[in-house]
Amino acid sequence: MSIGVNSSIAMKKKQNNNYHYAVILAGGSGTRLWPISRELYPKQLLALTGNKTLIQETFSRIEKIVPKENIYIVTNRQFTTDILLQLKSSGFSREQLIVETVQKNTAPAIALAAEVIQEKNKHALMLVCPADHLITNDREFKKSVLDAFARAEDGKLLTLGIAPDSPSTEYGYIKPKGKINYGTPTSVECFVEKPPKDIAEAYIKEGYLWNAGIFVWSVKAFRAEVKKYLPKVAYALSFKDTNKEKFAKYFSAISPVSIDVGLLEKSKKVEVIKVKFAWKDIGSWKSLYELLEKDKSGNVLNDDALTVDCQNSLVYGSSKRATVAIGISDIIVVDTEDAVLVVHKNETHKIKSAYATLKAENKTQYKEHKTVFRPWGSYTVLEEGVGYKVKKITVNPHEKSSLQMHYKRAEHWVVIQGTAKATVGRDTLYYDAHQTIDIPVGVEHRIENPNDEVLEIIEVQSGAYLGEDDIVRLDDVYGRNI
């Protein structure tokens, strides 16, 4: 029976690669694409070039190579909800998240992931890949990673090198030892940091490759190198399962260091594979503009931009606003519900300075968007002032908030679409559009959407303190801190 044959082939394939693992690095907090990216909503969670977000694209690229359940994601606590939401339909589970309690740059993060993987399989080979890079040829990517897996069996640490298509000053470079051919692992002469333009041009002539930050090795070989070159990291990790306090203490004492500087530049086992797939790490609005398709006037526009006589500009309007650009050239305009950026295309590196000012002034715009996603839906802050906050809350079909209570605020709900099943104190009642629900201070409550249609409510909070941290969760189906 053909079904039986296919399923047994699939089984065999899976057995063949079940010691292949992957680690997606998703801890980065990007400021360079502000105001689309925010501290709590970095590049990996954004859809920059298509419908899927970068982490969704990365996951779907890797699950064609590595068994889905062998893919881990290293991130920090504040991104976990969004990552789980975005990968929900891919079958990614909470157990595959490795949450860093302190951020120590890539070397300790990867070493921690290697530790988790070796507990599953001492013979594991692991792929390490950033969550926020653009790769446009999945087939070539797979071929390169499989080449690297093969070589990694011999104890080598493989790094993937990209043939540059321009003298980029935004990437680090790798110098192979002698001539390098596509697909043939070659020793590395040296790694170099982001160069100025003239030096980048010289690098390209001399055959340097872009360092894509994509690595493949066996956990065994890698852990040996960590022990050798990052002994403090190895020491901290040795307590991971035996002594949580010591682990936390020693891990938090580690100096942050990148995998390149901390290990790859030192190890004698490193090789580079020159790969054929197209790769970009979008490091600025300028590089995003360059990557995207332009109209006859050289503009990149979205549907919400209203422009008159503009040239060579990127204008992203907001659907909630009127975004109008007239007669500009080489300007990037990015409008969002709560912030607008107008920057000359060659000055995008200065965004970090404006971002730092917003952060220093504690403006919400550096940190989060007006709409915040939650496991059960989303909320948008419509207005806030002394003593009150107004939110629009969307509860997805058959989802529910935690059973919660606030010490310092009362809440008033008006159902505007769908049906709400609301628990307030001991009562659970159903409310349709135009009905209102009052939740006094200190009374436990929960909202649930019992239907297939989206539920929308307007919430007016009133009270002396309205911070998101005034929440006591008594029960939560999403396992959040109760």
298, 302, 306, 311: CA torsion to nearest 10: -10
Beta bridge partner(s), residue 314: 300, 332
Q: What is the closest distance, in whole angstroms, from the C-beta atom of residue 283 to its own copies in the complex?
A: 16
The smaller minimum CB distance to its own copies, of residues 198 and 438, is found at 438
Q: What is the C-alpha to C-alpha distance for residues 255 and 390, in angstroms, rounded to an integer?
A: 43
The smaller minimum CB distance to its own copies, of residues 209 and 333, is found at 333
Cβ density class 130-156: b for 16+ within 10 Å, e for less: bbbbbbeeeebbbbbbebbbebbeeeb
Q: What is the closest distance, in whole angstroms, from the C-beta atom of residue 173 to its own copies in the complex?
A: 27
Phi/psi for 21 (5° steps) reads -125, 165
Give the contacts of 126 (CB within 8 A, at least 6 positions apart): 20, 21, 22, 23, 113, 114, 117, 216, 217, 218, 219, 222
Q: What is the closest distance, in whole angstroms, from the C-beta atom of residue 442 to its own copies in the complex?
A: 13
Q: What is the closest distance, in whole angstroms, from the C-beta atom of residue 200 to its own copies in the complex?
A: 22
The smaller minimum CB distance to its own copies, of residues 34 and 247, is found at 34
The smaller minimum CB distance to its own copies, of residues 35 and 176, is found at 35
Q: What is the closest distance, in whole angstroms, from the C-beta atom of residue 363 to its own copies in the complex?
A: 6
Q: What is the C-alpha to C-alpha distance for residues 134 and 99, in angstroms, rounded to an integer?
A: 24
Alpha carbon 311 to its chain's center: 32
Which tokens in the block code for residue 101?
């309690």
The smaller minimum CB distance to its own copies, of residues 245 and 452, is found at 452
Q: What is the closest distance, in whole angstroms, from the C-beta atom of residue 186 to its own copies in the complex?
A: 41
The smaller minimum CB distance to its own copies, of residues 300 and 328, is found at 328
Q: What is the C-alpha to C-alpha distance for residues 177 and 373, in angstroms, rounded to an integer?
A: 48
The smaller minimum CB distance to its own copies, of residues 164 and 298, is found at 298
Q: What is the closest distance, in whole angstroms, from the C-beta atom of residue 417 to its own copies in the complex?
A: 6
The smaller minimum CB distance to its own copies, of residues 271 and 411, is found at 411
The smaller minimum CB distance to its own copies, of residues 254 and 328, is found at 328
The smaller minimum CB distance to its own copies, of residues 275 and 305, is found at 305
Q: What is the closest distance, in whole angstroms, from the C-beta atom of residue 374 to its own copies in the complex?
A: 18
Q: What is the closest distance, in whole angstroms, from the C-beta atom of residue 397 to its own copies in the complex?
A: 18
∠ CA 307-309-311 to the nearest 5 degrees?
Answer: 95
Question: Nearest Cα to 460, choosing from 418, 392, 411?
Answer: 411
Which tokens in the block code for residue 223?
């852990």
Q: Which residues bind its own copies (CB under 8 A)?
A: 35, 306, 308-309, 315, 320-329, 331, 333, 335, 338-344, 346-348, 350-351, 353-354, 357-358, 363, 365, 380, 382-383, 385-388, 390, 392, 410, 412, 414, 416-417, 433-434, 436, 438, 456, 458, 460, 462-463
Rg (CA), the chain: 25
The string of DSSP letters for 394-411 reads: EE-TT-BPPEEE-SSEEE
Check if the beta carbon of residue 84 is closer than 8 Å to that of residue 109.
no
Q: What is the C-alpha to C-alpha distance for residues 249 and 213, in angstroms, rounded to an integer?
A: 29
Q: What is the closest distance, in whole angstroms, from the C-beta atom of residue 93 to its own copies in the complex?
A: 35
